[in-house]
Amino acid sequence: MLTRFSDVDRSFAVMDELRRRMDRLFDEYDARGGRDGSPRGAWFDAFEGPWTSRTVATWPRLNVFDTGAALVLEAEVPGLKESDIKLEINQDVLSLSGERKQDAPEGYAVHRRERAPVKFSRSLGLPCKVDAERSTAALKDGILTVTLPKAPEARPRQISVKAG
């Protein structure tokens, strides 16, 4: 009778290991991103028309760095122009949105499209107060760099120690 329970335990252990491996596989796929950077990737492209635009929540991929005096955001936005991107700061939230439109020239027929049109919108809670008036954004080689200087009260201060 006890051997049956151990067989069941082994079966569940094997199923649990399979689930962990599948989770790892999907996590790796999500980290690479699909063809449009979305976590669902190309798997669902067969179900949606390749010509349809869709809103993507995890695109563009971005990094945020703290330099001490400023926060620096870098976002990958290949194929976008300055006019395609909108940045807003409202209280302590930075919003990045835009759209990559269909890029086929007028009068041409599309035979293959691997870069689908996409609308995106991302909002990030900022970890500290920033000076929105002195913030800058630059787009170069498909990388958007946003520099957000910290407000004076949010900057680190050096305190000198005196022996006494």
**What does the pLDDT look like over 38-72, one tens digit per residue?**
444 443 444 344 444 455 557 788 999 999 889 99
Q: Which long-range contacts (CB under 8 A, 24 or more apart) does 127-133 make?
A: 127/66, 127/71, 128/71, 128/92, 128/154, 129/92, 129/153, 129/154, 130/70, 130/71, 130/89, 130/92, 130/154, 132/89
Looking at the predicted structure, is the pLDDT value of residue 150 above 80?
yes
Predicted local distance difference test score (pLDDT) of residue 106 = 83
Predicted local distance difference test score (pLDDT) of residue 31 = 52
Task: Give the pLDDT band of residue 149 (cuts 50, 70, 90).
Answer: very high
What domains does the chain contain, in order, with CATH numbers? 49-102+116-154 (2.60.40.790)
